[in-house]
Amino acid sequence: MTLLPTIKQLLSMEAVGQPVIIRGWVRTKRETKQAIFIEVNDGSCLSNIQCVLDSSLEKNQSIAETILRLSTGASVEIHGELVPSPAKGQKVEVKCQQIKLIGEAPSERYPLQKKAHSLEFLREIAHLRVRTNTFAAVARVRNRMAFAIHQFFQERGFYYIHTPIITTSDAEGAGAMFQVTSLDIEELSKSGTLIDYDKDFFGRKAFLTVSGQLNVETYCQALSRVYTFGPTFRAENSNTTRHLAEFWMIEPEMAFAHLDDNIALATEFIQYLVATAIRDCAEDVAFFDQRIQPGLRESLERIVQSSFARMSYTEAIRELEASNANFEFKPYWGCDLQSEHEKFLTEKVAGGPLVVTDYPKEIKAFYMKQNEDGKTVAAMDVLVPRFGEIIGGSEREWRLDLLEKRMEELGLDKEPYQWYLDLRRYGSTPHSGFGLGFERLLLYITGMTNIRDVIPFPRAPRQADF
C-alpha cells in the first residue's frame, strides 16, 4: 500500500499543478454564487486544506446531492488539483474535480456540529473530542514529546528499560495503590471467610505499580544510565486538576551520580523538551498561545534560555513564612509543601521554574539519601508556575546500613525488599534519578489547565468510561 500524502505534507510541499487526493473530515462548508468552499482536516496538522468546487459542477445531480449531505464531521474523499490560493491564510488550495461522501455526520445529531464547546462538555464525549482543534493539537504535542523523551535519553547513552506494571512492593512507601487479584471477591464476600492470599494469582498481595523506580534501579546498577517510561497508577482520592489515577511517568536513573548531576539532568531535560515543542510543534503551540494561554510561547522561550532557580526546603519555608500571604495551610518547617506553597514559590519568589532540595526525611520516601544533618534527605522537586510540582527525585541511599535503619524506623517489612537491598550489598554505587509526570509536562507545554484534557482517556475517581 502506498500512503497518500497527508494534508500536512501537501501544505508543506506546495506541489502546485499536481493531481491530489484528499481524505479527511469536513470542518466547514460555505457556498457562494460561484463556488462551494469545503475546509477539510485530516488531523495531520492544525490547518485545514481548502477545497473549492465550481458551482457549475452542481448541475451534476449526484454531486449536488453529495454537497447537500456534506456537513461538519462527514468524511470525504476529494480528487482535484493543487493550485495557488488567491485567498489569504493559505498558499495552496484544491480545485475539486470529484467529491465522494464516505461517511455522513447528520447535522441534527452530530455532537460537534456547533463551533465552540466547553472543555467540560468535551470531557463527556472523550471518543469524539479529538476531532476538535484543541484535542487534536494536544494529541500531536503528546506524540512529539513522547518521541523527544526517547531521543533525549538515547542521545545521551541511556537505555530504555521496561519495568513491570504489576508489583508486590509499594515503591513510595505510602498507601494509595490499586490491588490486583484473580480471586473472586464477590464469592469471597458472600462466604465471609478471611482472604487467603496464598490462593491468589501471585500467592501474595499484588498491586498496580506507583513507580518503576525500584525496578529500574536494578538495571541502573548494571547499565549505568537507564530510564523507564510507562503508565503508573495511584488510587489516592485526589479529585484535582493535577492528579490522575493512571498517568505516565518518565524515570531516569544514573549510577555514580549525585544530587547536582540529577538537577543538571532534569534541567537539561525540561529545556530540551520545551525547545523541541517550540520548534517542531510551532503551529500547535501558536494555537495554544492564541486560544488557551496567552503569553504561553514567550514563557516557554524564557524557560529554554534561563537557568532554573534553586533553593533548599529550609530556605523555601523561610520565604513562605516571611511572605504574609494568605495560605490555606500555614507553612512550617516539617510540613509537606502544598500546591499553594509551590505555586507561590515558583510564581512569586523565583518567577519561573524552581528546584527545591533537601526536604525533611519524614515527608519523603524511605530510599532517599540521608544528609549529614540527620534531618533532611538529598531530594529535589522541580516546581513550575501554574501548578507546582512537575518532577520529584533524589539521590538514593546507597549505604546498606543506613537504608536498613531507615526502613526499620519507618516500620517497613524488609522481607519483600531483599532484592532491593541486594543492590546495596553487591557493588553498590551512589546513584540518582527522578520522575517526570508526563501529563504535567503536557499541561506545562500546552497551557491546558486540567490534566484530564492532556491524556486521551483520563482515569480519575469515578471516571473510567470510554
User: Whose Cβ is closer to ligand 4AD: residue 126's or residue 377's?
Assistant: 377
433 interface partner picked from ligand 4AD, Mg ion, none, CB below 5 to 8 A per type: ligand 4AD
Locate 423 and state its grid cell. Answer: 543492590
User: Whose Cβ is closer to ligand 4AD: residue 92's or residue 442's?
Assistant: 442
447 binds Mg ion (CB under 5 A): no
Locate 251 and state its grid cell. Answer: 524515570
435 binds ligand 4AD (CB under 6 A): yes
d(Cα 201, Cα 197) in Å, to the nearest integer?
Answer: 8
User: Please, are residues 380 and 263 in contact by the beta-carbon 8 Å criterion?
Assistant: yes
Number of shown-chain residues binding Mg ion (CB under 5 A):
1
Sites for ligand 4AD among residues 443-462 (CB under 6 A): none
Using the rule CB under 6 A, give the single segment among 147-155, 181-189, 247-255, 263-271 that binds ligand 4AD: 247-255
247 interface partner picked from Mg ion, ligand 4AD, none, CB below 5 to 8 A per type: ligand 4AD
The DSSP secondary-structure symbol of 338 reads P
80 binds Mg ion (CB under 5 A): no
431 interface partner picked from ligand 4AD, Mg ion, none, CB below 5 to 8 A per type: none
Cβ at position 316, least distance to ligand 4AD in Å: 16
458 interface partner picked from Mg ion, ligand 4AD, none, CB below 5 to 8 A per type: none
Convert 250-287 to b/e letters by CB count within 10 Å (16 or more is b): bbbbbbebebeebbebbbebbbbbbbbbbebbeebbeb
Residues with Cβ within 8 Å of 48's Cβ and at least 6 positions away in sequence, in order, are: 7, 27, 28, 39, 40, 41
Q: Comparing C-alpha atoms, which of 384, 386, 382 is closest to residue 448? A: 386
Strand spans (E) along 137-245: 159-160, 166-167, 179-180, 206-208, 225-233
Number of shown-chain residues binding ligand 4AD (CB under 6 A):
21
Question: What are 38's strand-pairing partners?
Answer: 29, 51
Cβ at position 57, least distance to ligand 4AD in Å: 52
Task: Map residue 56 onto helix, strand or coil.
Answer: helix
Locate 4 and state its grid cell. Answer: 497518500
d(Cα 90, Cα 170) in Å, to the nearest integer?
Answer: 54
Cβ at position 136, least distance to Mg ion in Å: 31
Cβ at position 150, least distance to ligand 4AD in Å: 17
d(Cα 406, Cα 400) in Å, to the nearest integer?
Answer: 10
Using the rule CB under 5 A, give the single segment among 97-105, 297-305, 387-395, 421-429 that binds Mg ion: 387-395
- Contacts of 293-297 with CB under 8 Å at 24 or more apart are 293/446, 293/447, 293/448, 293/449, 296/446, 296/447
Q: What is the CA radius of gyration of the chain?
A: 27
Cβ at position 216, least distance to ligand 4AD in Å: 7
| Of the candidate residues 392, 437, 447, 458, the single one contacting Mg ion (CB under 5 A) | 392
453 interface partner picked from Mg ion, ligand 4AD, none, CB below 5 to 8 A per type: none
d(Cα 194, Cα 448) in Å, to the nearest integer?
Answer: 47
439 binds ligand 4AD (CB under 6 A): yes
289 binds ligand 4AD (CB under 6 A): no
Sites for ligand 4AD among residues 360-399 (CB under 6 A): 389-393
User: Please, are residues 431 and 256 in contact by the beta-carbon 8 Å criterion?
Assistant: yes
345 binds ligand 4AD (CB under 6 A): no
251 binds ligand 4AD (CB under 6 A): yes
User: Whose Cβ is closer to ligand 4AD: residue 143's or residue 238's?
Assistant: 238
| Of the candidate residues 172, 342, 397, 453, the single one contacting ligand 4AD (CB under 6 A) | 172
Q: What residues make contact with ligand 4AD under the rule CB under 6 A?
A: 171-172, 211, 213, 234, 243-244, 247, 249, 251, 389-393, 433-435, 437, 439-440
Q: What residues make contact with Mg ion under the rule CB under 5 A?
A: 392
